[in-house]
Structure 1
Amino acid sequence: MSIKQRDANKNLEQTKSHLQSNHAIHHQAKKNLVQQPVTRFALFLLGTAATILGIYAIARHFSWWQLPYTSIAVIPTEAAQASLPPNINTNFVTAVVDRVGPAVVRIDAAKTVTNRLPDAFNDPFFRDFFGSQVPQPGRRTIRGAGSGFIISPNGRILTNAHVVDGADTVKVRLKDGRSFEGKVLGADPVTDVAVVQIQAQQLPTVKFGNSQQLQPGQWAIAIGNPLGLDNTVTTGIVSATGRSSSDVGIPDKRVNFIQTDAAINPGNSGGPLLNQQGEVIGMNTAIIGGAQGLGFAIPIHTAQRIADQLVARGRVEHAFLGIQMLTLTPEVKQQIASDPNSWLNVDEDRGVLVVRVVPDSPAAKAGLRVGDVIHKLNGQSVTEADAIRQAVENSAIGKDIRLELRRQGRTLNLAVRPGAFPTAQVE
């Protein structure tokens, strides 16, 4: 290697060493500067200012309400949304009320009642003795209010039979304030369904839903006039289906009720029970005194069937056997056996126990007796009295029903031909 080349390499090494030394000094100075409190605070302010400027720049191009979010509100159906004016904050309940409310009416019924006097007051001796002081028969007017809903544009209205029972006058008031005289086309006390007609055209109507596919937990909306408070809306769910009339405490009815926890009070009777689409699934009809969250409605498919017959014939014919029944369980059997006043001798643990046979009824004519335990109806096993009641309700008058029963250890098969339900008779 030449002397000139060695000198060049030596100078290069010295230059690298000098640069490394300067870099170390610069790094140490920078480190010392950052570690000083004032310097750190200044850097913090600089970072904060940069952040604020960045947010401001983004906000000029986007609004917070444009950002995606997840709503926890119940979304109304497309049909419900379409029926509402634009730019209105709403939910599915207000959508239903807005659409169905005009078809819900108030019904005011009045009837005149004559107070009867005891027979003793009609005795001639009694009248001679007391003269003008004998009380005279009095007349008074009983008024009641209920609800109903319009089922045809020409003024046909569905309501409860007990709302218009025995009424001399019926007045129907619409939500828009108009009032009409109503005529009762027919009333069926067995199912508590009645049809009222008013003279009007192009009225708003309800839409019927499917009450045979209801499930507990589905939404339920009640609209009516409870306690004179018109156009009241309450919400809840379908609590249960298939509640028998005996479960509800009105065993003289032939209905499997819808149970709901939507608030129902006197005056709601005859009003609609709606699903979340605004379709009528039932007609509110009963409450249990002193209970909370227990209301009952007639399934709309039952109310429709009865209404069609009332419109066509003015009355409804129900099939009638003429027996009173009790669902038999081991517990019921034990209660009967331990009752000193009971004369029944029950050998069966399950089935439907006949506890009364109406004289001269179809059941009596067919040979049924008190103490019989029914196990089958038309070849199908039955274990509850309500199953037989419902089967009889759905049967035709004059068409035999085959019963298989046990009597004192023997199996018997009887054919019972249902008759027409007498209006004064309670099965």
Structure 2
Amino acid sequence: MEHTKKMSLALISVVSLVYGIVGGGLSGYAVFSILDNGEETTGDTIINFENGSYKEVWEKAAPAVVSVVALKDLGDYYDQFSFFGFPKTVQEDGELSEVSSGTGFILTADGLVVTNKHVVSDAEAEYVVILDDGTELEAEVLDKDSLNDIALVQITGDDDRIGEFPNLDFADSDLISVGDPVVAIGNALGEYSNTTTAGIISATGREILAGGTGFGTETLVNLIQTDAAINPGNSGGPLLNLSGEIVGMNTAVDTTASGIGFAIPSNDIAMVVKSYQEFGRIVRPFVGVRYVVVHENNMKRLGVDVDYGVYVIGDQQAQLPGVVPDSPAAKAGVKEGDVILSVNGEVLTETNTLVNVIAAYLVGETITLEIWRDGETITATVTLEESTQ
């Protein structure tokens, strides 16, 4: 597929990355604010290279890292200016131009690609995937996650390597630690494909408010923070351990500082992929409660005797109940005023809320809630159902 590539500069400000509709925009999220500090690094870090070297990581992973490019016919866009005395564009009708680009990585030999949702946010665009050898193949957006910045793309163009594409494996992101060495690979600035940078995991469990021009804002939780250089265009690229396994997907960068980037943990991505493979779409489970997080500063105001968990409460202004009628929670007997303390023994806290924990389960699975109610602790068994939101 032939297309015209428009060149431009990306302007990074405190609050956003420029996302150009015209002129080769870069797909990226900027951090508005860090909402939760998570686990931070302190002191010096000793990097252990026993599991591999940066060069070995690059040699293993780079063939599976791709550029994800959005293409559009901009003839109508340019032609509108002819009404105001501007020269008519020389672009031929039907000619496709690159309007944005990001990164992705191949997860299966038949060409399933994982990238950020904001990289493929334009529903009117056509998408192509560019392999590490420069081969350009048509691609289809399969689905976008409603709760996280994750999207699945399938390579559809003809290529003899379909079924034999190099692909990457997930590591268990629950096993990573602050100070672990990592490698980021991506389509930096939309121009430098397979740019590789190295650093460490600086923190885990971060919660941020991120956004970019054309994307709006989104709260992202449970993120990995890294000091490996992440640039506009790196969105959707893998963050790798020294075994060349995916520990995260690069997603956002704090544009007010140097060396502060964020990645979605591999376990969160793996659950989305598993859901798609099982249901043919990304399915998110839900319990069916509205809540506020309990902590030592609000427990007295809420009238509870515990300083952790989530307090089930409705939105009085919007006249929305704390327990959604006919939801899994309602069927299990959960009531407004309950404090859900844990899910299958996993304690709920300010940094590990109900939505974070439930994301690790599939629709149809059964969970046990530990609940504080009127000074007593009880349990409720909930069968997760599909979220319709």
Fold shared per TM-score above 0.5: yes
1:77: how far off?
Answer: 6.4
Question: Are the equivalent residues in 2 in contact too, given 1:282–1:298 (CA < 8 A)?
Answer: yes
Which of 156, 165, 183 aligns to 1:221? It is 183
* Identity %, equivalent residues: 39
Structure 1 unmatched ranges of 5 or more: 1-73, 81-91, 114-140, 338-343
Bigger CA radius of gyration: 1
1:175 deviation in Å?
A: 2.6
Residue 280 of structure 1, aligned match among 230, 241, 246: 246
Output the aligned Cα RMSD.
Answer: 3.6
Post-superposition shift, 1:285? 1.9
The structure whose residues are more often strand, as a share, is 2
With over 3 angstroms needed to count, the CA separation of the structure-2 counterparts of 1:332 and 1:249, relative to structure 1, is farther
- Is contact 2:253-2:260 (8 Å) kept? yes
In the alignment, the residues of structure 1 paired with residue 170 and residue 368 of structure 2 have an alpha-carbon distance, to the nearest angstrom, of: 35
Question: TM-score scaled to structure 2, two decimals?
Answer: 0.65
Residue 63 (structure 2) pairs with residue 102 (structure 1):
yes
Instruction: Pick closer, same or farther for the CA change 1:299–1:352 going to 2, 3 Å.
Output: same
- Give the aligned length: 301
* Amino acid corresponding to residue 228 of structure 2 in structure 1: A
Partners of 1:311 and 1:350 in 2: how far apart?
Answer: 35
- Structure with a larger share of its residues in helix: 1
**1:406 counterpart = 2:372:** yes
Partner of 1:178: 135
Match of 2:352 among 376, 382, 386: 386
- Name the CA shift for 1:381/1:305 in 2 (closer, same or farther; >3 Å): closer
CA distance in 2, matches of 1:364, 1:289: 43
- Per-residue deviation at 1:112? 9.1
Aligned to 1:160: 116
TM-score normalised to the size of structure 1? 0.59
Q: Distance in 2 between matches of 1:379 and 1:277?
A: 32
Asked if the contact 2:109–2:167 (Cα under 8 Å) also holds between the matched residues in 1, the reply is yes
From the superposition, tell whether residues 254 and 322 of structure 1 become closer, same or farther in structure 2 (CA, over 3 Å). farther
**1:378–1:107 distance in 2 versus 1, CA, 3 Å:** closer
In 2, distance between residues paired with 1:400 and 1:93?
42
Give the conservation status (yes or no) of the 8 Å contact 1:186–1:314.
no
Contact 2:105 2:168 survives alignment (8 Å): yes
Query: How many Å apart are 1:105 and its aligned residue?
Result: 1.2
**Letter of the 1:214 counterpart:** I
Q: What is the alpha-carbon distance in structure 1 between the residues aligned to residue 190 and residue 308 of structure 2?
A: 47
Q: For residues 73 and 290 of structure 2, what CA distance do their matches in structure 1 show?
A: 34
Deviation at 1:381, TM superposition (A): 5.1
Matched with 2:209 is 249
- Are 2:208 and 2:220, in contact at CA under 8 Å, matched by a contact in 1? no
Q: CA deviation at 1:220?
A: 1.0
**1:240 aligned partner, one-letter code:** A
The one of 194, 197, 214 equivalent to 2:151 is 194
1:318 maps to which of 267, 284, 293 = 284
Q: 1:197 to 1:259 in 2, by over 3 A?
A: same
- Report the counterpart of residue 351 of structure 1 in structure 2: 309
Q: Deviations over 1:3-61 (max 9, x none)?
A: xxxxxxxxxxxxxxxxxxxxxxxxxxxxxxxxxxxxxxxxxxxxxxxxxxxxxxxxxxx
Larger relative contact order (Cα-Cα within 8 Å, sequence gap ≥ 6): 2
